[in-house]
Amino acid sequence: MVSAVTCGPDDLIGDVAARADANGCVVVNEHEIVLGRLGPKELAAPPNLTAEAVMQPGPATVRANEPLDELLSRMEQHNVLVIVVTTPEGRLLGVVRGAGNEQRV
């Protein structure tokens, strides 16, 4: 698990795109609760739009106690490059990058 690039729902896409990595950005509130995710497609939206306006709401998440080998296997089976890791309350802990995604870190 690695830390994730984050942004708030009111942040402008132009600002977020400048600091996001190749895997996008996790949209969180002031308590670090995950609200959504911005992938490359969303980051290409007009720069004056907000993260909330274009985010993928309620992204799939896993818990930190998920066995890593099983998680990576499932991610590979479903062609998932990045998954968000949260507490049971939805607070962001980080992201796991799948196999074949190391070069995008």
Q: What is this structure's pTM?
A: 0.86
* Residue-level pLDDT at 104: 37
Residue range 11-16: mean pLDDT, rounded: 96
Say how far apart CA 74 and CA 34 lie, in whole Å: 22
Structure confidence at residue 103 (pLDDT): 36
Q: Which residues are registered as beta bridge partners of 50?
A: 12
For 50, 54, 92, the CA distances from 59, given in Å and listed in that order, are 17, 13, 12
Q: Which of 12-16, 51-55, 76-80, 99-103 has the lowest mean pLDDT?
A: 99-103
What pLDDT score was predicted for residue 43? 95
3-state secondary structure of 104: helix
